[in-house]
Amino acid sequence: MKRMTIKELIDQKPVDTTQNIKGWIRSVRNSKKFSFVVVYDGTSQENIQVVVDETLANYAEVAALLSGSAVSIVGKVVMGGGKTPALEIQAQSVEIYSKTDDSYPLQKKATSLEFLREQAHLRIRTNLFGAVMRLRHHLAMGTHDFFSKRGFYYLNSPIISGVDAEGAGEMFTVSTLATDITKSPKHKDGKLDFEKDYFGKETFLAVTGQLEGECYAMGLNAIYTFGPTFRSENSNTTRHLSEFWMIEPEVAFADLDEIADLAADYIKHLIDYALTHASKELEFLHKSEYSVVGEDHIDILKHVRDSKFKRITYTEAMDILSKIDPAVKKFEYPTTWGSELQTEHERFLAEEHFKSPVIVTDYPKEFKAFYMKQNPDGKTVRAMDILVPGIGEIIGGSQREEDLAKLEKRMDEMGMNKEPLWWYLDLRRFGSVPHAGFGLGFERALMYISGMGNIRDVIPFPRTPKNCDF
Amino acid sequence: MKRMTIKELIDQKPVDTTQNIKGWIRSVRNSKKFSFVVVYDGTSQENIQVVVDETLANYAEVAALLSGSAVSIVGKVVMGGGKTPALEIQAQSVEIYSKTDDSYPLQKKATSLEFLREQAHLRIRTNLFGAVMRLRHHLAMGTHDFFSKRGFYYLNSPIISGVDAEGAGEMFTVSTLATDITKSPKHKDGKLDFEKDYFGKETFLAVTGQLEGECYAMGLNAIYTFGPTFRSENSNTTRHLSEFWMIEPEVAFADLDEIADLAADYIKHLIDYALTHASKELEFLHKSEYSVVGEDHIDILKHVRDSKFKRITYTEAMDILSKIDPAVKKFEYPTTWGSELQTEHERFLAEEHFKSPVIVTDYPKEFKAFYMKQNPDGKTVRAMDILVPGIGEIIGGSQREEDLAKLEKRMDEMGMNKEPLWWYLDLRRFGSVPHAGFGLGFERALMYISGMGNIRDVIPFPRTPKNCDF
């Protein structure tokens, strides 16, 4: 007999037929003459209740099964009674693949998020992480759907990189010399001789795919990356990971306004896609005791999907912030022009002032990367950040400087070594056109939509300082 | 005026309307009273011919443009004459974004594949690499389409890893201690003290996502990874990369036969998806002077899509090979039972003996990883490889050993340290079920379908020994 998944069962509702399901036991409740065995298989947010009658040959063994045991069940599908009628299976046979005992870590009592992070190999078996990771899947599919339907080509930018593309220096070194440095070739000063390393030079894990994305936008018109990126900064916050996934579109012939529209449309599309494909998961997550949002979060998401994002300049943002009565909101960091827009400012603007996502544009050049297009004012660049309630910055983007002389001048001002980026400068030497792009932190988007409060709980196996288990 | 891409223009054929296109010049051919300017924008395999009349204000400047220059053109769309009528634009204005000169590296004369690899930031502007990378995009979309429609969930397995999952030792170390080892904490024996490294232990770039995939299959039923994987082996061949993308599905409750069916269906789906979405690209590639396949490759692909893959055991494969008359085919390596199936054997089976992809199953356990399910014969394991003409092995998979005692015994036999894999063994301790999966090297599939002969030419920025430019 061909097995049916629980998702197929719920979608197709084959009442009065005999079917085979396979899965794991969520709970067993024994009554006088039968047992209710609740089974999940991970294909759906919903479980299936199986009624096992005491007349079944291995009834005693089944009735004694503990949560997490694996079974294959053949039985008749019926519509059960009760207040909210649901599909049920009347078991004709229960085959047991494996039994858990009391040592199974996922007991009801022990399910703090901290504990579950230590059981990252098992936590996917909980309702909570099943919901998070199915939602993650749908947001990934929604991403490919959004960009491919708009004619963007998917680019796999390189992970091992020879350059520090953001100039921030927070990079992991990739090497085959480090394992046993006593045997590795070294310079006279004692440092490793990276010319003798695997790639013949010092290499790093990429912090962005943008620069290679620009190369490809100049050949394919519009591309997007969706891959892992890395930061070795020592940040132990609920919003930082050392390894995270980023989506970075890059569009030839586009300016900042177009890319800001694209970014807003993309966020709205992600929300819409989640509402369409993962409504049960969203409902479960927003109601969960682990959620940091209210049950009304789905209405907030719908509002965001249907509203026009506010758009202000950095100058306007500082103007708003500096006029806030300290009795209403006291900021830790200054709100004078030329100060950094801090997370407290970002969250105030999105959560309290506009109560919606807000796009901030035209930041002082000092806070932004070398490649951003310089405004005629000589002070600001064509950058934009999108801030959302509960998270702060979720997207950062810019129009890129397409003028070779201006770009080189800015790199010189910032004391950068232009030589390793000869190829990036070539894009301005040959066939240069206006272009723009942005980056979305996938996990931050997932936090925002799921209502989970810690970024470690929206990626399968989180990597953070001092933590690389599994 | 809203710009139209060339793909939109060709799809919609808005004859007799005025449109704006933006792109780069492929060639300019000057006639007496007008110029033919061929423009591409990367959205399509096809170019658009623009007719520029000498009456245009900046005619002289346009007529002098070189290949690679960037333009925005407004003009009337007409159906051109000639043997094969094609859309044409009669220019009303030509705005020039940027001009190339003789120093532009992509001149007609200098386009060997070796040279283009040194120009990996520019090669995407050629017809050839445009075709390869659009095909790559469609095969990626076809992958998500295939698995998500079958109810598989997309898993982002970790890239930075604490374990050597294949036990092959060919891994890159990831560290923040390597940059300047003179300042880094060391043990008394002079080796780096990885306990003081960023993650508190020695970490690597993952060679596979399979082990984490198994964790997630035990929670979501069926998952697939699609991400970068890494090997630090010193292989300078046309089929090896240090960084490549792999697709790894893992299915709970599946056995080897089911996973072999899934793998064959997936290859057929990739071919069908390419034929549907990238027919112009395939046609261009197979005809290209750089192709290692004939123009009939499209028929070969169609045959593979429509045929049942041959399925033999390793034992049967060796039996076939050992009976081949040396006058017909002389092998370098032995064909006795217990010898490795070498690339020459794989290619002979697929290319000459069966003339189709072939699935080889049940290999001697000595050649395979510790996690494969052991057959009752005590000698072989439930492994499978899929071999395709022109490439050899393209997929490797297996049913996994779900019995804890057998798995631990095998690890002991192989002298493995079980401690770092405690979490992997937990999958057999708690709720263990039969399960199986495979891995497809994305670039090898792309080589096979595109007919490109070097794996460096089917990934945007190849990483190989001594080569990590861009």
- Write the DSSP symbol of residue B104: -
What was the ipTM of the complex prediction?
A: 0.96
Q: Do B220 and A97 touch (CB under 8 A)?
A: no
Query: pTM of this prediction?
Result: 0.97
- Among A47, A72, A137, most B C-beta atoms within 10 A, so best to mutate, is A137
Q: Do A121 and B252 touch (CB under 8 A)?
A: no
Nearest Cα of chain A lies from the Cα of B330 at a distance, in angstroms, of 36
pLDDT reported for residue A110: 58
Q: Which secondary-structure segment (H or E) carries A248?
A: strand A243-252
Tell whether A404 lies on the interface with B, counting CB pairs under 8 A: no
Q: Where are the alpha helices (DSSP H) in A109-177?
A: 113-118, 127-149
CB A166 within 8 A of CB A207: yes
Nearest residue of chain B to residue A421 (CA atoms): B470
pLDDT reported for residue A364: 97
Q: Which secondary-structure segment (H or E) carries B50?
A: strand B48-53
Q: Do B121 and A215 touch (CB under 8 A)?
A: yes
Residues in chain A: 470
- Write the DSSP symbol of residue A288: S
Tokens of A397: 């983007």
Confidence of residue B389 (pLDDT cuts 50, 70, 90): confident
The contacts of residue A376 (CB under 8 Å, 6+ apart) are none
Checking A286-292 for CB contacts under 8 A at 24+ apart, the result is A286/A451, A288/A128, A288/A131, A288/A451, A290/A113, A290/A128, A290/A452, A290/A453, A290/A457, A291/A450, A291/A451, A291/A452, A291/A453, A292/A390, A292/A451, A292/A452, A292/A453
pLDDT reported for residue A179: 86
Residue A173: which of B42, B144, B179 has the nearest Cβ? B179
Q: Do B199 and A42 touch (CB under 8 A)?
A: no
Q: Where are the alpha helices (DSSP H) in B195-255?
A: 210-220
pLDDT reported for residue A164: 75
Find, among B118, B91, B87, B93, the residue nearest to B105 by Cα.
Answer: B118
pLDDT reported for residue A169: 73
Q: Where are the alpha helices (DSSP H) in A52-126?
A: 59-63, 113-118
Tokens of B145: 């389409």
Q: Per residue in B190-245, pLDDT tens?
A: 999 999 999 999 999 999 999 999 999 999 999 999 999 999 999 899 999 999 99
Q: Compute the distance between CA of residue A432 and CA of residue A429 in angstroms, rounded to an integer.
A: 7
CB B175 within 8 A of CB B192: yes
| Rounded average pLDDT over B28-53 | 96
A35: amino acid identity, one letter: S
Find, among A244, A177, A235, A259, the residue nearest to A207 by Cα.
Answer: A244
Residue B205: which of A124, A174, A222 has the nearest Cβ? A174
pLDDT reported for residue B163: 86
Tell whether A182 lies on the interface with B, counting CB pairs under 8 A: yes
Confidence of residue B66 (pLDDT cuts 50, 70, 90): very high
What rounded mean pLDDT belongs to chain B?
95
β-sheet bridge partners, residue A65: none
* Low-confidence residues of chain A: pLDDT under 50: none
pLDDT reported for residue B110: 58
B193 C-beta neighbours (distance < 10 Å), count: 12
Checking B103-106 for CB contacts under 8 A at 24+ apart, the result is B103/A429, B104/A430, B104/A431, B104/B66, B104/B67, B104/B68, B105/A430, B106/A430, B106/B67, B106/B68
Q: Do B431 and A43 touch (CB under 8 A)?
A: no
Tell whether A375 lies on the interface with B, counting CB pairs under 8 A: no
Q: Do B243 and A433 touch (CB under 8 A)?
A: no
Confidence of residue B305 (pLDDT cuts 50, 70, 90): very high
Residue burial B342-381, b: 16+ Cβ < 10 Å; e: rest: bebbbbbbbbebbebbbbbbbbbbeebbbbbbbbeeeebb
- Show which of residues 138-167 on chain A sit within 8 Å of chain B, judged by CB atoms: 140-141, 144, 148, 151, 153-162
pLDDT reported for residue A394: 92
**Cα separations in angstroms, A102 against A99, A372, B388:** 10, 58, 48
pLDDT reported for residue A391: 82
